[in-house]
Amino acid sequence: MALWSSRRRGYAVGAVAITAALALSACGSQSPSGTDTAKPSGSAAAGGVQLVQPGKLITCTNLPYPPFQSKDSSGKVVGFDVDMIDLVAKKLGVTQEILDIDFDSIKGGAALNAGKCDVAAAGMTITDERKKNLDFSAPYFDEVLGLVTKKGSGVTSLDQVKAKGLSLGVQAGTTSLEMAKGAGIEAKEFKDSGKQLLALQSGQVDVVLQDLPVVVEWTKKPGFSDSFELVGQVPTKAQYGFAVKKGNTALLTAVNDALGTALKDGAWTKSYEKWMGAAPVSTPSPTS
């Protein structure tokens, strides 16, 4: 969802489903305990929800992705997504634990299928392709992408990026990549938003396309706005959703119940204002 628009990000689009073994070995992830042995244990939480580990709701994400999830000065993972899943954990009577892994293993369902985590929360756009591998919650955020480049470039659209022959950087496996392909641009892909930003600042690419709330976080960095600016917004008409392993209806119900309550009692709005720095222009429907 954008701060100024009724849309919201989804840089994680069209994905090719990969096997659990390949995805997990490629990302080199570990279980929260520091070993690579996390498997579903059949541990039951409130409502009969089965969890990977007793007393924990393990969330797969891809860091950094502020303001949805990133580490604060103490090393704790915080953000809008974290707040929302904390509400789910509270409903289940457990605590949330974060597992940072490659996005490809999240969107393709490999991490969930392998019992690495219970839920995926990664600013992830709901797409028909991803629905083949994941069960999504009701939408919790509308999507808009932001186009960023050097000040005074005169570029305001992807069409101009292509016409001028400029290099475009996107985050791998995201909606931004799909938008670039749709505009006929062969974009350079980066594993996370941090590497994407560094590529822009170091001149590896001329322009970057990324979720608008993430771009807004970039503009708060010292010196960023001296050289770069947000030059365009690209609504996608898509929405973000949290995801669980296909068929995990008990956990999906708990996620939707917690999200629906947050949208109705103001918790969603309070968290939005905290992390986005402005009141929401629109809110997603609490029903799927």
Q: Give yes or no: residues 252 and 132 share one domain.
A: yes
pLDDT digits (tens, 9 = 90+) for 224-274: 999 999 998 888 888 999 999 999 999 999 999 999 999 999 999 999 999
CA dihedral 242, 246, 248, 253 (to 10 degrees): 40
The answer on 199 and 259 residing in a single domain is no
Q: What is the pTM of this model?
A: 0.70
Rounded distance, CA 14 to CA 11, Å?
9
Residues spanned by the domain of 36: 20-141+239-276
What six digits make up the tokens of 248?
């995990």
> Do strands 56-61 and 119-120 pair parallel, antiparallel, or not at all (unpaired)?
parallel
Distance (Å, whole) CA 80 – CA 272: 7
Asked whether residue 56 falls in the same domain as residue 187, the answer is no
**What's the Cα-to-Cα distance from 21 to each of 13, 18, 58, 80, 157, rounded to whole Å?**
21, 8, 19, 30, 39
Q: Average pLDDT over the chain, rounded to whole?
A: 85
Per residue in 124-172, pLDDT (tens digit) is: 999 999 999 999 999 999 888 999 999 999 999 999 999 999 999 999 9
Asked if residue 13 is part of any domain, the answer here is no
Top-ranked range on mean pLDDT: pick from 14-18, 65-69, 84-88, 172-176: 84-88
- Bridge partners for 119 per DSSP: 59, 244
Please report, as a single letter, which amino acid is at residue 178: E
What tokens were used for 78? 């915080």
- Element (H or E) spanning 248, and its range? none
Higher pLDDT, 121 or 7: 121
154 and 229 fall within a common domain:
yes
The rounded percent of the chain whose pLDDT value lies above 90 is 70
Taking Cα atoms as reference points, which of 68, 195, 50 lies closest to residue 115? Answer: 50
> Total structural domains in the chain?
2
Residue 6 in domain: no
